[in-house]
Amino acid sequence: MAELSDIIHAALDVLKDEPGLAEIEDWQEVNCFIPLKSPGISVGAEKETFTAYDRRFDNTEVSLKIYVWVNDSDPARGESEVRRFARLVRYALVKDPYLDGLIDSGFVSEIKYSASDQGQEMLTYLAEMDYQVSCLTQRTEREPAWEVGEVQVEIHH
């Protein structure tokens, strides 16, 4: 069964294995972007919704946010780079829609682009991506198994 932290970690692993993303200097497991190192990628949870599957499990829809950022003083180069990285992120996740069997499906449903002024003639170019994941999750926390100290069996003939 998929746990949220496992899904986030698996998505980042898929992205880290993408050769076109080898230039990424900062990888984060958070739902925000931290433009201190550039270029960077972060993956974090935005929302989980649940519907009943059976007594032990729920169908779960997870909305993840993937942020890709590039700091650059040249607007044309910065925009071009963030779009290129966003496409590579999308393509990498399309190639492994099941995150190696961890989830039932995953799909990048939207990419939004923006830029913000960081001062000193530096801009941050941002791609905010919506990654929708479907999986089964446990409905309740598993209780630890009972510890059996000693078993005695008497057989009578």
At 110 the three-state DSSP class reads strand
d(CA 72, CA 84): 14
Q: Top-level CATH class of 4-138?
A: alpha beta
Query: How confident is the model over 117-152, as pLDDT tens digits?
Result: 877 778 999 999 999 999 999 888 766 666 776 777
Query: How confident is the model over 51-99, as pLDDT tens digits?
Result: 999 989 999 999 999 999 999 999 999 999 999 999 999 999 999 999 9
**Residues constituting the chain:** 157
The pLDDT of residue 117 is 84
Identify the DSSP state of 42.
Answer: E
The pLDDT of residue 105 is 96
d(CA 9, CA 103): 12
The pLDDT of residue 94 is 96
Cβ pair 73, 120 in contact under 8 A: no
Cβ pair 67, 60 in contact under 8 A: no
d(CA 12, CA 18): 10
The pLDDT of residue 145 is 62
Residue 128 exposure: Cα atoms within 13 Å on the Cβ side: 13
Q: Which of 8-17, 29-38, 65-74, 116-125 has the lowest mean pLDDT?
A: 116-125
User: Where along the chain do its domains lie?
Assistant: 4-138
The pLDDT of residue 142 is 64
What letter represents residue 50's amino acid? F
